[in-house]
Structure formats: structure tokens, C-alpha cells
Structure 1
Amino acid sequence: MPSVIKKLHTLQTFITDFYMVALLVVAHLLLGFPVHSDSISKKDSPPIYSILSENQRIEISDSYEVIYKIERTFTVLSSEGLAHAFTSVFYDKLNEIESVEIEITDPISGKTLEKAKAKDMADAAIYSSGSIFDDNRHKYFEVKSSKFPVQVAVTIETKSSSNFHLSDWVPVHRYNQKVTKSTLVVAYPEHIGLRYKAVNLLGEKSEKTVGKLVEVTWVETDLPVQTPDLKKEDDHRLLLAPVVFAMGDFVGKMEDWSGLATWQYELNKGRNVLPEEFIAEIKTMVADTDSDYEKIEILYQYLQKNYRYVSIQLGIGGWQTMSATEVVKYAYGDCKGLTNLMKSMLEAVEIASNYTLVQAGENAEKIETDLPSNQFNHVILQVPLEDGKSPVWLECTSNSLPTGFLGDFTKNRYVLVTNERGGYLTKTPAYNSSEWNTVLSKNVVKIDPQGNATIATKINVQGNFAEDLQNVKQYLDTRQQRDFFNSNSPVAGLIINQYELHVDHKDSLLLADLSYEGFIQKFVQNTAKRMILKPFLGKITDEMLVNNSLNQIDEYLIELPEVMEAENLSENLVLEEEGIKVTLRTSLEGKNLSVNREINLSLSEDISEEAKTELIKRINALGSSNFYFIKNTAALRHD
């Protein structure tokens, strides 16, 4: 059977190669696409599902309106390529769809198979995660065909009322797509200006003046076919930003970060007014303390308990906050509204704070610090402290994080602090010291004569790891929590009978205590003369070293079913280098086997992922050997 499959695969490959050559020739003859030798499928080349040629034009007017014109021609070569020709056109209060035309043809015969315009497209809302109110929508069209090749020509024109955000240009839209030519023209009045950053572009750039507009053109041809293993930093893209911009009546200038911060500050100016009775209530809350930190903590906890997060993204409201009075009245707000309310409450007790823009998300991309522009999607609050102390950072949309702890959503990234003087770029805390990355576990294991075991475990975690357990407690029900602990136990096959999880904090340091008791079937393997204890120490993973720091101690006290002799009990194992110390200690006294592992890591910020992966392998190798014990054979013969 395998030989038949291999022959079929070989035949399929030959047909695909022949088919690709034919299609590319057709593309050249009928569509004007250039044909290059490296575009033709080869044995080791990635498959090509579609061929794309595209022209884009971005034109900015004196009134800051932006017209986007796009002309795309796809040649879809297989069913996998149909998704490449999927057309989606975004619109909201700031962005309008002027026209869309789609024509599907047979590139061999030239026969038109289908036509569509904007009115023929499906329409749906686009909801961002956690959003309740927004006006994000899109019209979309899905190409369907059972015969290939098929050609899809798409023409789109949209208009934006603001040049605040200019779309990035990414010439290659999809994996397994051959881009024969992609062109971008950006036209703008000289007084508005344009800034850009080219990343991995391979083609040509030119510039000229046409009438009252400056035109800059980028042309990319015959780009390499991309596959899913492409790293983000290797993609081809062009980042664009205006110098002068406007949203509504608010005009700004972002030649530098301070300019953008000034615009944001002015946008929210005057929206911090609170009702007089509410101010009196706030002052009463903090009347018994003179400590600024305690005042911050009292008011932050009040915010968390009494105000609900609701995402609101409507027009300019995507950037301008609700007024503090409105948030007080309705007891809800988005990140902007809740942050502005917290800022206003602190002002009422004479504590200054700064509204701060951030690119949020656990896997958020780093912002381009050398291209001041709209690269943010969230707002947090920075509260400076006197006497050179580090500022207090507040995530005002969270009802569970302790005062001063941002968590995975916004930690360790560049943020734009705004204030009356403009603003500046800085970084949020990385939480990469040992106290923020501590895991301590104590495990008592009892093995019965059949090789099964009971285990009682107590785990104490601090900082980043405690946030994970807090999320488990907050978002999973009892059954889901139990399943989570079963599947994430370092000891394979654990079935938990009972558990307790407590989450607390000490100042800004999040703490969590987990204890459980469980049963493990066939924890050891028995032979006539030996008992074999397989590796049971939890593996260190990439996720555990995201912060380049780890302080972990695992203690195991294992009670064997009888007194045995250890056959291969190693002496203490040590891995020690700069910033790295790992020790594994084992001892056997009577029936009690003690296994203790200590890991202390403080890695350089510039350590490569490859080096980190290699280090993880070396650490895990220390606890990867079986333990062999010789049974009391005399007692066995007596029995």
C-alpha cells in the first residue's frame, strides 16, 4: 500500500508542476504577468495557490480626507486559493465604502462567470474582543468555484474622514501566494507631510510632484512565496504615518511622540469634571490616611468594585474618552472612560496621574519606537510617586489585579504617557525579578505494593505565575478548574480527588496557594527484582521563561512500599553558569526517597530564543532518568 501511495503522490506532483507551468504561461499571455523561472513550482518549492497583481493608491486631501483605491487581480489555481480572493471591506463612522466591483472570469476562455458590486456583498458587524458598543462593520464577498484556474478582478474605493491612521502596506497578503507585482502610490499635500518606515522591501521607490501633491511610489515585483513558518519580522511591509493629521475638529502634529501625546491630551481636556457630591464621597474614603499609595489603593479598589468595563468604540469615541460624570452616572465605561474616571478621582484628592496609551495584548507586537504614530489600542494610568519611587501603574479595566500590577496584558512594553506638557515614551514594568517569577512546591507521594500512588501537593506561586492561577479561579468553573489541574500536573496521569485554590496579594505582588490530593495509577513499574520509578519532575517550558527569570523549588518526599536498595541514585547534579544555577539532590533513607530540585535563572534580556530553548533542554535533562530500586528478594522468597 505505501508504494501505491508514493506513486500516486509522484504522479500528483508531476501533474501539479505541469499545471503550474501552463497556468503561469497563460497568466503571461492573457493577464500580462511576467513569468520568471523561479516562479515555476519546483520539487522543494512551496505550493502556489494563487497569483496576485495589485495596484494601490492612497490620496490625502487638504481637508485630511483620505481616498483609498485598490485594484487586484487574482488567478486562483486551486480550492485552497479561494480564500485568497475573499474580499472584505471595512467601514464605520469614519470610513465609508465608495464602490466595490468584483468580476470572476475563466482566464482560458475569457468568459465572465460572475459579477458583483457593493450592494451584492454580505454585510456583518466586526466585534472586537469584549466589545459591547462599536460601529465596526464590513462588507464581504466569498468566491466559489469548482473549476480552476479562475480569475478574480477586484476594484475597491473607500474614503476616510481622517488621516490619523494610514494603513500599512503589506504586498504579500497570504501564505502560498505568488505576488508578481504590487504597487503603492501615496499622494499628499506637502504641508501635511508623510513619514514612513520600509521593512524588508526588495523593490524600488520613486518620488515626484504632480500638481499640488507629492507622490511617492513603491513597486515590489516577483516576491518570494511565503509559508506559515515565516517569522513576522521577516515579512515585507511599509509603515505609514502623516506629519499633520486631524480627527473631527482636532488637528495634531506627530513629528515626535510628544506631538501625538499633546493631541491626545487636548482631545480629553475638560472631560475630568466630577459631581460635587461624588468628590465629597471620595475625600471621605481617604480621610484617614496621609499615604499617597494607600489613597491610590483605596480609590482603585473602589473603582474595581463599583464600575463595570464595557468596550465602546464609536467614531472619534474610539480615541476620546467619555466624561467622568457620565461614567459615574452609568457605572460603566471602556478603558478610556474608566482610566479617565480614576485619574479624575485622584485629582480630587490632589494626586496627579497620567493617561497613558499602550499596545495591549499578551502577544502584542512591539511598537516601532522610531516612527511616532497611532500604534496603540488600549489605555492605562500612570501615577508618579515622589522621592524617586517607581510610578504606580493601574489597569483600570480589571476588577481583580492588585494595585500597581499590570499583568500580561500590558507589562514590559513601550507606552505613551500624556500630560499637560505633551508626553513621552517609556516602558511599563517587566516583572522579571525573581520575586515576580517564583514557584515553590512540596509533594508527598506514597507508593503501594501494586505500584499505584497517592500524592498530596502544596504549591505557592508569586507574581506572573499567580496571575495564571487567578485567571483559572476567575474564569473557570469548579469542574473546569479540576480538569485544568489534572492536565497541567507535572505528574502524568494524576486524578485529583480534592483541591483548594486561594489568591491574594501583598501590595502589588500577586500571590496564589494551590493544594490538592490525588491518585496516580501505575506510578512505578514493577519487575521480579526491581521497581522502576519513571521521571516525574515537571518540565520547564518556553512559557515559564517569557520573563527571563525563574525561581523554582520542587521538593518530593516519596515513600516506597518497602525498604529497597537504590541501584543508580546519583550524586547531586549541578548546572551553573552566569545567571544560571540548577541543582538536583537525591537521597534515600529507609523507605523514604527525597528529591529536591532548585532552579534559579536570571537571563540577559538579549538572550536568543535558540539559546533559551537549548537551556530548557539542558535543565529538563537533569531530571529525565529513571530511578531503579532493587527489591528485597529474600523477603519475596519467604512470601
Structure 2
Amino acid sequence: MQIKLLLTISCLIACFFTSPGQEYAVEKIDSLLLENAHAVIREYHTRVEIRSRNRVQKQITYVVTVLNERGSHFADLDIVYDSFRKVRNLKGTLYDKNGEKIRDMRRREFFDSQLYSDYALYSENRIIKARHNEREYPFTIKYEYTVNYSITAFLDFPWMPVDNVHLAAERASITFDTPQDFEFRNKTVLTDILPRQEPLGRNRKLYTWELTHIKAIPHEPYMPYRLDLLPHIFFSPNEFTYGRYRGNMRSWKEIGDWINLLNEGKQDLDRQTVQKVRELTDGMTDTLEIIQTVYQYMQSHTRYVAIMLGVGGFQPEPASSVARLGYGECKALSNYTVALLNAAGIKAHYTLIQSGQQIVQIDPDFPSNYFNHAIVCVPLENDTIWLETTNQILPVGFIGASNMDRYVLVVTDNGGVLTRTPPVLADENRIHQVLHASLDTNGNARINLRKEFNGVSITNRILQ
């Protein structure tokens, strides 16, 4: 009896003095998760609490084991915040390969700086970063922090716990704690998990999605975009607030209605600018010639400058301000171009697009905010002209490879309409070169070279 009692006491003492961090020991990682992995997420838990239409709290716990130097960037931390998002209770903890705690991170190891500082004239968007130069591998880093939102729109989704190659995960979850009457939608991609639903008192509900044992995929040349390879979930609220503006995402039409609300009164131009446009287009009867003239006027009188303040992340500056100052970012320049075309008697539409080298697949049946850029759509009787307003060199109707062949939201007077920009076909991508060389009797050469660029090669030439 005494021996059993002593054994029980010994076990209790051993458990009491065992470091809680030992659960992060590298030896406990499933060998299958180590294949192709430079790092393994041990746990990644997100809890989103919807407190009201304009109060949301998101709590994050992220623990990753870095296996080698090639995975060191997976220990980095980037948290973006602004006037609508405040970061609280940020802390980090380092563990060795045995899961033993090394130390807590110091405040000076978190760097706070302006986001987009390389091209924005001014931005209230800021970023908190943590970077590591650990010399002993493997090691584990744990981050915990809270983000308080004063909006219910665009809460940094999709949720994608494994978002890169050579990264595996043991377990990850996301939980929504919502009022009973809060409506939101979700769409799972490359996974068929269903949420676990639980009542939380009389007026609230919990929804939890969980992923486990996600294997790492290796990098391959010309491999598809990560959203086409890795499991993720899109979330979108039905009703939402952004600043003092309320909107709805149930349909593309209603998203367009919300954009119209943001843009209301922003297309008014001063009399001098209207008069200038009418002088430039006076006597023209060819619609395409009018569009080209107005577009070239806009290009020659503006430049791209990013200013991001408050609702300005989605709301353009007034067209009259762009006319006076001669600069703006994509939303302001596109809104200004629409106003100029309207002054010339051409109906044009402000248009949202997901711009970039990789095409993000938008689900037409899942309305949400997928967009990061604004361009202009000019519908004609038998054609549609698209205008990229942030480039002073592109010809009319050419919007560059980063905008081609993808869904866009055209914002009409009657709300949003989802459509696509045209692709550039293979036979339209050409570089035609003609070289004439003549030699005189002394062997001297006179050379004349003419190059003609078509399709994507136009963008490549401009970027040279």
C-alpha cells in the first residue's frame, strides 16, 4: 500500500514540475508531417467574437516549430492595423527543440512601422513585425495577441492556416462567437469540414471549424497559386459596417450599392475642367476617339500617389481634388476618369478588380470583397473598353497582364454587376522586329531597327 502511495505521489510531482511547453518538443511531431516541411504549425487558433455591428474582437494563438534555416521566415510575425483595428496583449515565447521555454520576447523585438511606406505619400495603415535570427535549429515560437475591430466588414479572411509551401500543421481552428441574429456565410475550398455548432447562453452561438494533420507540399516551378492548392475557408457577413457606412454582401448588386454610397457626390468636377474636356473633344463624332482623347488627358495631368486614411481605403477622393492636385491612388484616378468621360458625354463605370500576377478565383455564387484595385469600364454598343488609370504610358483599352482575364465588379447606377475582363490570346502576344542594315564601300554599317509590341509584351516593355 505504501509503495502504491509513493508511486502516485511521485507521478503527481513529476506532472507538476513538467514544463507545459514540452508539448512542443520536436520529437512529438508525426514523421509524416516532417516530409517536405521546413516548419510545422503546432497550433493555430483564431477566435472571432462579434460583440455588435461595429465591435469585433479577434484572439490569435499561433505556435510554429522551425525545423531549419530555410524555414526561418515562418517564425516572422506581421500584424497590420489602422484606425479600425487595434492590436492588444501581444506577446511571444521561444522554446528549444525539447519544448523547454528559453525566454519571453522583449518589447523591443516587435517593430512598429508605416505600411506601404515605399510608395504611399501618407498612410495610417501600420504594421507590427517580429523577425528572428536564431542560430540553433529546430526551435519553436509562440505568439498570442488580440485585435479589436470597430467594423464588421473584411475581417482579414479567407482563413488559411497553411498558406505556403514547405509548411505543415498539426492542428488549426477558427471559432465564431456571434449573436443569435448575426448572419454570415462561409465557403470551404479544398476541404469538406463542417462547423461544430454550440449554443452559448440564450442569445449567442459558437461555430468552430478545425483542420488537423495538414501535410507540407514542396515547391515546384510554375506551380499553381496557393489558393488552388491549400485548404481554406472564405467568410463573409451579410450586413456589415465600415466607418459610418452600413452595407450588405448578400449579392453583388448590394455590394455595388454600398460602393455607390461611398462614391456619392465624389464625381463632381469644377467648371474649368469640364470646359477643358469639352474643348478637347469638340467636333469629335467617333466615340473611341473621344475616349482616347480623355484618357490621354487624364494620363498627362495626373500621377499615382497613395494616400490611405480611414474609409479612404475604399472611398475615393473627390474628382475635383484630383483635378486640382494632379494626383491620386487607383480609386481616386478611376473615379476622376469616370467623371471626365461623363463630362465628354461618355457613360463609364467605376470598377473593382483583384489585380496581381496570380488570378484569384472568385466564386460568382459567393459575393464578398475580393478586390484590391480600381479600373474603369466603358461599355459601347458592340464592345467594352477597359482603362487602367494608374499608368501614364499604357494605350487606351490595354489594362496590363495583372488585370486581364478575371472577374470584376462593375459599379453601375443600379448596383454591382459581376463580369470578366478579356483575355489576351496567344496570337495577340507578339513582338515584331524589322531591321534594315546597309553597308558602304568602307564596310561601315547603317542600321535602322523598328519594334512593334502587342499584348502582354507591351507591359514587359514598359517595365524594362
Give the shorter-chain TM-score range.
0.7 to 0.9
Report deviation, 1:74: 2.9
SS in 2 for 1:255: coil
SS in 1 for 2:151: coil
Assess if the C-alpha contact under 8 Å between 1:34 and 1:180 holds in 2. Answer: no
CA distance in 1, matches of 2:294, 2:84: 36
- State the partner residue of 2:81: 91
Q: Map 1:4-23 onto structure 2 (within 5 A).
A: none
Structure 2 counterpart of 1:52, from 42, 48, 65: 42
Q: Does 1:126 align with 2:115?
A: yes
Q: Map 1:379-394 onto structure 2 (within 5 A).
A: 379-385=374-380, 388-394=381-387
CA distance in 1, matches of 2:297, 2:73: 49
Assess if the C-alpha contact under 8 Å between 2:22 and 2:99 holds in 1. Answer: no
Q: Map 1:563-602 onto structure 2 (within 5 A).
A: none
CA distance in 2, matches of 1:109, 1:372: 44
Report deviation, 1:439: 4.2
Structure 2 counterpart of 1:105, from 95, 102, 107: 95
Change in Cα spacing, 1:37 to 1:292, as seen in structure 2 (3 Å) is closer
Q: Does 1:322 align with 2:313?
A: no
Report deviation, 1:117: 6.1
CA distance in 1, matches of 2:457, 2:130: 45
Assess if the C-alpha contact under 8 Å between 1:177 and 1:226 holds in 2. Answer: yes
Structure 2 counterpart of 1:184, from 174, 182, 198: 174
SS in 1 for 2:211: strand
AA of the residue aligned to 1:161 = S
- State the partner residue of 1:273: 268
AA of the residue aligned to 1:393 = W
Change in Cα spacing, 1:342 to 1:51, as seen in structure 2 (3 Å) is closer
Assess if the C-alpha contact under 8 Å between 1:84 and 1:174 holds in 2. Answer: no
Change in Cα spacing, 1:444 to 1:267, as seen in structure 2 (3 Å) is closer
- State the partner residue of 2:422: 429
SS in 2 for 1:300: helix
Q: Does 1:299 align with 2:289?
A: no
Structure 2 counterpart of 1:65, from 49, 55, 60: 55
Q: Map 1:608-627 onto structure 2 (within 5 A).
A: none
Q: Does 1:159 align with 2:152?
A: no
Change in Cα spacing, 1:55 to 1:409, as seen in structure 2 (3 Å) is closer
SS in 2 for 1:238: strand
Assess if the C-alpha contact under 8 Å between 2:163 and 2:230 holds in 1. Answer: no
- State the partner residue of 1:337: 332
Paired residues, number? 434
Greater displacement, 49-58 / 462-471: 462-471
Change in Cα spacing, 1:292 to 1:34, as seen in structure 2 (3 Å) is same
AA of the residue aligned to 1:421 = N
- State the partner residue of 1:20: none
AA of the residue aligned to 1:127 = Y
CA distance in 2, matches of 1:432, 1:253: 37
Report deviation, 1:64: 2.9
Assess if the C-alpha contact under 8 Å between 1:54 and 1:71 holds in 2. Answer: yes
Change in Cα spacing, 1:197 to 1:292, as seen in structure 2 (3 Å) is same
User: Which consecutive unaligned segments of at least 5 residues does structure 2 have?
Assistant: 1-18, 439-444
Q: Which has the larger radius of gyration?
A: 1
CA distance in 2, matches of 1:392, 1:158: 42
Report deviation, 1:253: 0.6
CA distance in 1, matches of 2:232, 2:348: 37
CA distance in 2, matches of 1:405, 1:78: 45
TM-score, length-scaled by structure 1 = 0.62
SS in 2 for 1:299: helix
- State the partner residue of 1:311: 306
AA of the residue aligned to 2:406 = R
Q: Does 1:143 align with 2:143?
A: no
Instruction: Quote the sequence identity (%).
Output: 25
Q: Which has the higher contact order (CA 8 A, sep 6+)?
A: 2
CA-to-aligned-CA distance 1:15-55 (integer Å, 9 cap, x gap): xxxxxxxxxxx9996359995765375xxx32554452121
SS in 2 for 1:369: coil
CA-to-aligned-CA distance 1:462-506 (integer Å, 9 cap, x gap): 5215514641xxx55xxxxxxxxxxxxxxxxxxxxxxxxxxxxxx
Assess if the C-alpha contact under 8 Å between 1:68 and 1:157 holds in 2. Answer: yes
Report deviation, 1:369: 2.7
Root-mean-square deviation (CA, aligned residues, Å) is 3.0
- State the partner residue of 2:342: 347
Change in Cα spacing, 1:295 to 1:147, as seen in structure 2 (3 Å) is closer
Change in Cα spacing, 1:80 to 1:409, as seen in structure 2 (3 Å) is closer
- State the partner residue of 2:395: 402
Change in Cα spacing, 1:51 to 1:276, as seen in structure 2 (3 Å) is closer
Q: Map 1:214-293 onto structure 2 (within 5 A).
A: 214-229=205-220, 231=224, 232=226, 233-293=228-288
CA-to-aligned-CA distance 1:409-459 (integer Å, 9 cap, x gap): 31221110002211201111223274x33444556899xxxxxxx997856
CA-to-aligned-CA distance 1:573-627 (integer Å, 9 cap, x gap): xxxxxxxxxxxxxxxxxxxxxxxxxxxxxxxxxxxxxxxxxxxxxxxxxxxxxxx
SS in 1 for 2:170: strand
AA of the residue aligned to 2:345 = E
Change in Cα spacing, 1:35 to 1:104, as seen in structure 2 (3 Å) is closer
- State the partner residue of 1:590: none
SS in 2 for 1:252: strand
CA-to-aligned-CA distance 1:317-339 (integer Å, 9 cap, x gap): 01101011111111111111111
CA distance in 2, matches of 1:85, 1:267: 39
AA of the residue aligned to 2:51 = S
SS in 1 for 2:105: strand
Report deviation, 1:365: 2.5
TM-score, length-scaled by structure 2 = 0.84
SS in 2 for 1:146: coil
- State the partner residue of 2:360: 365
- State the partner residue of 2:160: 170
CA distance in 2, matches of 1:73, 1:466: 44
Q: Does 1:461 align with 2:452?
A: yes
CA distance in 1, matches of 2:436, 2:63: 66
- State the partner residue of 2:103: 114
Assess if the C-alpha contact under 8 Å between 2:21 and 2:95 holds in 1. Answer: no
Assess if the C-alpha contact under 8 Å between 2:112 and 2:128 holds in 1. Answer: yes
Assess if the C-alpha contact under 8 Å between 2:25 and 2:97 holds in 1. Answer: no
Assess if the C-alpha contact under 8 Å between 2:401 and 2:459 holds in 1. Answer: no
AA of the residue aligned to 1:157 = T
CA distance in 2, matches of 1:238, 1:469: 35
CA-to-aligned-CA distance 1:341-395 (integer Å, 9 cap, x gap): 111122223322110001112334233333211111111111122xx32122211
CA distance in 1, matches of 2:77, 2:166: 17
CA distance in 2, matches of 1:284, 1:57: 58
- State the partner residue of 1:11: none
